[in-house]
Chains A and B, each alone.
Chain A
């Protein structure tokens, strides 16, 4: 049995991409193995841990629960893309300064999930930040430092208007 494939065209981090992919390949395997975008990680491949979070058409999705063929025509943004555009440069700087990661494996997904709170920042409590991040598993930090980094970024953005 030969592998069933389909051709897809999509935008990844602003670049047009056309590739023939196995129909059963999920989006993150596609990004990692076909495009070399290894910033998105696989932690569980059943949609719980959030390490594979990417942006698809402006929504944060679990890249392991979406097939690559479902992203045909979509606009996909990964942590590499967010880094290049500078959209979350302040959040990244605060993650580093606050040491809001240890092994770093959850970090790209955590950043992408946290970036949702930054797009139209409004005052949020630590509890709300914790609630928002509760779909992203971090085994190293205990979350306190991550909440600090996100809180600082939101407050700075609000102050700067």
Chain B
């Protein structure tokens, strides 16, 4: 722990904070009692299915729905034009903070033109999903195929068609950031390395697909939506605005969510359509994407080409880095978070662990006739880290310096904060040096190098990879969403209250998708109040119950929501002690709360229980003087003040074996040392890192949405889009350095994306280490066996 960190209630002996505790939700899950959106089946529920564009780009000439309407069980057939009449207008996926950004207005369902294969065109609502699909097959849509734009490299060429003529070209956004003097640094450098990297298009593949159940009561004009979402309040605001329903009449409930990873922070046209059907029919309407629909409509991410350059002295000191990023978006910029964050984040974080002062990064984001892209776990970081860390490794090789040593010479020093990175981002409370030395120790680095050399002698090619990283977590209001104009809250809130029983209800705006957010909030509340965990009930994921908040995205739940919970609990604690002081004729500051009882500070003998305070505070209020008008509840909100993010840092290590005959990569070992500040629940933090790593490894090794030249997605099944399975994945060793962030009293930073952000970089470096003696080098992900064999000149 940082020695300057003040001792708080959370640091007491036996504090719940810093302790591994099991999740209640886990106990339900193992019994098959999880309750996901599709498990909720109200009487008279109807089911929506969609006719989707079979073309990457096509004009819609006519739609004939007559036969579909005659089918058994069909309650409604709705076209894009009919849906648009129920909406307040199309979405435009731009934010004012992205200067010059442009996007075509997008209707929830296509009207005159479909711009990607999978875009919804007609909705059919029937008694069962099967009947809805039967009827959907009878809808006749006449299309006129239009030329498609598939290749991001040629999307801005003069002879390439423009997808949206109103925009003038296919450019969504461009940006350059620059600091120092890159050209001078390059001219003065002993060694300059240049390379180009490509990254395939991924999608989130949450095991539970997108799912929504909308119910509308015409009497009260109440719209209730159960949906698999990370951001219930954002959905409430966006759906209310889009469908013209007063926001306070809309209730969003996110029950158990079967995986999200950023997918479920977005809004989707088919979900709006199903909700509109529920309003129109005044019956429950459910839409659950099947796997094909998931691949063809869930946001995609990661499709980028990056040209990068690093300049170093012969001692391996980095003097500059510069990158040029071409980012392939989809047919529209995803509303409301846009499709340009990934590119923007690549600019922000590439080379971010290092102390160099000369940096230039530019990007152009282009529209393509593919599924819209947007935020997916560790936005931009897998790309920026892969580029930066490969360039550092190549520089090390050119200088004849060990990869660990070149990082040791270049990382920002632990005693150098606060400071500003070459990308212009404020950095504080980081620990690159400590993480690096911990990794050396955990890997047994020197012994591993010897082992590798021994295997080389036997003709077995093993590689060791190292990748340092930074990760932007918990964005503040100054940067994007708030300032950018999107209805997305960067603050989060907690309302906490003492019940008559002495139990505590803790209602939070952040949400849980299995990370254990509810457990973590409970631990913070229990530790702060001094009550047993069993007496705290955390409520999340229901806009009727919890105070307005952003929800869970960008590794913000503990960093932002946790601080709100801590502060709210502190306020409630003070009120409880004030009441206790009156009842006990004692000064509140001589009292403490331990295990649900008010005690004299330093003692454990109960003077009065919280159950007694609850009883008196709610029922026997006449025992209290009139000047105490207590509420036995408190609400607190927390947001970052000036910072764009709470940056975290860490370093990963990987040990792999490459079969140079088949191109297969075997992952032998993987290490992550990361600094997420104060760890609330060590097991949950570890598991965030492990799961995140494997998601990154999937992208590095297997995953890619493959399009053909006509804009047809070629591998939209789980049999063809390969995800990591248990057999291919390694055990992952995790350790935490805990440098508390100074921006909150809790001191927690985000942890959910650190694994994903650097795993592709470290495994690519390890693979290249393995094949370097053969003159091979891989700069394309996913690193398929074919890619490896090509790099080795074997195919």
Q: Show the binding face of A for B, using Cβ within 8 Å.
A: 1-3, 22, 24-25, 32-33, 36-46, 48-49, 51, 78-80, 83, 92, 95-99, 101-108, 111, 126, 129-131, 133-147
Chain B 34-50 residues near chain A, CB threshold 8 A: 34-36, 38-39, 41
A139 and B261 in contact, given A39-B33, A39-B34, A101-B30 (Cβ under 8 angstroms): yes
The answer to whether A43 touches B207 (Cβ under 8 A) is yes
A111 to B515, CA, bound (A): 20
Inter-subunit contact B684/A99 (CB<8 Å): yes
Complex contact A140–B208 (CB within 8 A)? no
Query: Once the chains are docked, how many angstroms separate the CA of A137 from the CA of B259?
Result: 12
Q: Among the listed A3, A106, A126, A142, which residue makes an inter-chain contact with B693, where contact means beta carbons less than 8 Å apart?
A: A142
Of the candidates A43, A111, A136, A142, the one whose C-beta lies within 8 Å of that of B694 is: A142
**B15: interface (CB < 8 Å):** no
Determine whether B27 belongs to the interface, using a CB cutoff of 8 Å to chain A: yes
In contact, A105 and B207 (Cβ under 8 angstroms): yes
15 A-B residue pairings within 8 Å (CB atoms): A22-B130, A38-B34, A41-B258, A42-B38, A43-B208, A49-B718, A78-B32, A97-B22, A102-B514, A102-B516, A103-B29, A137-B725, A140-B691, A141-B690, A142-B692
Quote the shortest CB–CB distance from B420 to chain A (angstroms): 34
Q: Which residues from chain A contact B22 at a C-beta distance below 8 Å?
A: 96-97, 99
Q: Count the B residues whose beta carbon is within 8 Å of the partner chain — how many?
A: 60
Nearest B residue to A133 by beta-carbon distance?
B726
For B30, give the chain A residue with the smallest CB separation.
Answer: A92
Which segment of B218-226, B330-338, B646-654, B727-735 sits at the interface? B727-735
- Say whether B709 faces chain A, with CB atoms less than 8 Å apart: no
B724 CB contacts on chain A under 8 angstroms: 142-143
User: For residue A107, which residues in chain B have a CB less than 8 angstroms away from its CB?
Assistant: 29-30, 34
Q: Is B398's CB within 8 Å of the partner chain A?
A: no
A1 touches B72 (CB 8 A): yes
Q: Check if A104 sits within 8 Å of B130, measured CB to CB.
A: no
Q: Considering the chains assembled together, what is the distance between the CA atoms of A135 and B29 in angstroms?
A: 19
- Chain A minimum-CB-distance residue to B206: A139
Known: A40-B32, A141-B687, A145-B690. A103 touches B732 (CB 8 A): no
Asked whether B630 is an interface residue with its Cβ less than 8 Å from the other chain, the reply is no
Bound state CA distance, A131 and B728, in angstroms? 9
A79 engages B32 (CB within 8 Å):
yes
Contact check, A99 vs B727: say whether CB atoms are below 8 A apart. Answer: no
- Asked if B1 is at the interface (CB within 8 A of a chain A CB), the reply is no
Q: Which of B41, B514, B726 contacts A143 (CB 8 A)?
A: B726
| A102 and B729 contact, CB distance less than 8 A | no
**A51 in contact with B31 (CB, 8 Å):** no
Contact B259–A103 (Cβ < 8 Å): yes
Q: Are B726 and A136 in contact (CB under 8 A)?
A: yes
Q: Which residues of A contact B103 (CB under 8 A)?
A: none
Kindly list chain B residues whose C-beta atoms are within 8 Å of the C-beta of A145: 687, 690
B435 interface residue (CB < 8 Å to A): no
Q: Is B290 an interface residue (CB 8 A)?
A: yes
Which partner residue on chain A sits nearest B683 by CB separation? A99
Residue in A2, A104, A146 whose CB lies within 8 Å of B514? A104
What does the 1/0 interface line of B679-713 toward A look like (CB < 8 Å)? 00001100100111111000000000000000000
Task: Tell me if A143 and B729 are in contact (CB < 8 A).
Answer: yes
CB distance from A30 to the nearest CB of B (A): 12
B725 / chain A contacts, CB cutoff of 8 Å = 133-137, 143
Q: Identify which of B33, B719, B727 gathers the most chain A CB atoms within 10 Å of its CB.
A: B727
Query: Closest CB of chain A to B670's CB: distance in Å?
Result: 9
B256 is an interface residue with CB less than 8 A from chain A:
yes
The verdict on B723 contacting chain A, using a C-beta distance below 8 Å, is yes
Select which of B131, B290, B726 is within 8 A of A45 by beta carbon: B290
With contact pairs A46-B719, A96-B27 given, residues A146 and B726 touching in the complex (Cβ less than 8 Å): yes
- With a cutoff of 8 Å between Cβ atoms, the chain B residues found around residue A142 in the complex are 687, 690-695, 724, 729, 732, 755
Given A39-B33, A103-B207, A143:B25 Cβ within 8 A: no
Tell whether A51 pairs with B717 under 8 Å between CB atoms, given A99-B23, A144-B690.
no
Q: Is the CB of A51 within 8 A of B690?
A: no
Q: Which B-chain residue is minimally distant from A80 (CB atoms)?
A: B32
B513 CB-CB contact with A under 8 Å: yes
- Give min CB distance, B620 to chain A, whole Å: 40
How many Å from the CB of A27 to the closest CB on chain B?
Answer: 15
B59 within 8 A of A: no
Cα A49 to Cα B259 with chains together (Å): 14
Residue B113 CB within 8 A of the other chain = no
Is there an interface contact between A101 and B259, defined as CB atoms closer than 8 Å? no
Minimum distance in angstroms from A8 CB to a CB of chain B:
17
Answer yes or no: B449 CB below 8 A from chain A CBs.
Answer: no
CB proximity of A57 to chain B, nearest CB, Å = 20
**Nearest-neighbor residue (CB-CB) of A142 within chain B:** B694
Given A96-B23, A98-B683, output 20 extra A-B contacts at Cβ < 8 Å.
Answer: A38-B34, A39-B32, A48-B718, A83-B31, A95-B30, A99-B23, A99-B683, A102-B513, A106-B207, A107-B29, A108-B29, A129-B726, A134-B725, A134-B728, A141-B691, A143-B694, A143-B726, A143-B729, A144-B690, A147-B731
> In the bound complex, what is the Cα–Cα distance between A89 and B759 (angstroms)?
35
